[in-house]
Structure 1
C-alpha cells in the first residue's frame, strides 16, 4: 500500500501555512504591497486561504492514498488558480513574487505526487 510520504509532508506544510494565514492575515496585503483600500479584501482572502488550506491539507495528511492523490490534485489546481488571479491584480516585482510562490509550490506538489506514485 502506498504511503504517500512526500504528499503527506507537503500537506502538513500547507496546513501550517493555513494556520499562519488565519493567525496573521495581514501577511498577504503586506506581501502584495496593497493599497490601503485593498487591505481588508486581502486580509479576508488570506483567511479564506487559511480555511481552504486546512481543509484540503487534512485530507492530504490523513486520507487514504486515493484521497491524498485527490487532495494533491486539488492543491495543484488551486495554486494555478491563485497564480492566475493574483497575477492579474499585481505587477512588477510583486507579480514575479506571486508567480514564483504559487507556481513553485504547485511544482513541489506535482513532484511529490509523481514521486509518491512510484511507491
Structure 2
C-alpha cells in the first residue's frame, strides 16, 4: 500500500516547514502582528523543526511509523489551533482556525481514505 494521499499531505507539510525556514516573517504578516515579528519568526522556525521531521518520518520511515507521523501531524495542528486561536481575535482567529483545523482534518481524512483502500 502506497498511502498516496497521506504522503502527498506530508510532502506539503514538509514544504511548509521549508517555507517557514526560508520566510519566517510570513506568520506575523498573516496574523497582522508586525509588533510581534521577532517572536512570530521564532514560532515559524519552531513549526519548521517540528513539521519537517514528522513529514520525513512519514515519507521515508518504516511503514509502521506512518500512523504515528500522521497522529503527530494532526495533534500538532490541533495544538496550533488551540494556542493561536486563543491568542487571536475576529477574522484572524477565523483564518487561524480554518487553516490549522482544516489541515488536521485533511491529514486525517487522507490517512483514513488510504487505509480504507487497503
Short-chain TM bin: over 0.9
**Structure 2, unaligned runs of 5 or more:** none
The answer to whether the aligner puts 1:92 opposite 2:96 as a matched pair is: no
* Conserved? CA contact 1:60–1:68, under 8 Å: yes
If asked which structure has higher relative contact order (CA below 8 Å, sep 6+), I would say 1
TM-superposed CA distance for 1:69, in Å, is: 1.2
CA distance in structure 1 between the aligned counterparts of 2:63 and 2:84, rounded to whole angstroms? 31
- Residue 44 (structure 2) aligned to one of 30, 43, 46: 46
Q: TM-score, normalised by structure 1?
A: 0.94
Q: What is the root-mean-square deviation in Å for CA atoms of aligned residues?
A: 0.9
Q: How many residues align?
A: 117
* Conserved? CA contact 1:26–1:43, under 8 Å: yes
Q: How does 1:61-76 map to 2 (within 5 A)?
A: 61-76=59-74
**Structure 1, unaligned runs of 5 or more:** none
Task: Please give the per-residue CA displacement for 1:18-63, whole angstroms capped at 9, x wherever unaligned.
Answer: 0000000000000001141x21110000011011111100001112
Q: Which runs of 4+ in 1 moved over 2 A?
A: none
Q: TM-score, normalised by structure 2?
A: 0.95
